[in-house]
A = this chain, B = another copy of it.
């Protein structure tokens, strides 16, 4: 059997390709976030709240791809830095509503603008409009929980 016959499992393992592509493209933007003093998880939280104004800890955890208790710790630090606020929901007193402070909101808006610019350069300009659409559709198909 010749040397390169099996040619490697990873090279065509979809989960690896997804993780690698995601990590590579994201790393470009994460440098931008780091310049504003934000870690990746922090940026994710800001981006989520930019969209939704307020969210419960659990929702935020799901959206920002973190485990709940990790998010709780993170929110604590972000609150201490004056980026977010936290208060019990009046409707359901188990829930905690997380919101952006004015400082946080400004920073979030700023970063979101830069994210859009980066996305254009890193994705749209590389793949083109049509392929980008196709790409989004495929990703959305995979995001839907099969067990849902």
A contact set with B: CB distance below 8 Å? 8-26, 28-29, 47-48, 50-52, 63, 65, 112, 115-116, 119, 122-123, 126-127, 131-132, 134-136, 138-143, 145-146
Contact = CB atoms under 8 A, between A and B. Distances in A.
Nearest to A10: B51
Residue with the greatest number of chain B CB neighbours at <10 A, chosen from A22, A65, A131: A22
A50 B25 CA distance: 26
Contacts of A16: 47
Given A19-B26, A20-B143, A145-B24, A136 B12 contact: yes
Contacts of A17: 136, 139-140, 143
8 contacts: A10-B63, A14-B132, A15-B29, A18-B22, A20-B139, A23-B65, A28-B146, A134-B134
Q: How many copies does the complex hold?
A: 2
A21 B139 contact: yes
A5 B101 CA distance: 23
A131 B135 CA distance: 10
A131 B138 contact: yes
Contact of A9 (B25, B112, B123, B135): B112
Given A18-B21, A19-B65, A126 B141 contact: yes
B143 A138 contact: no
Nearest to A17: B139
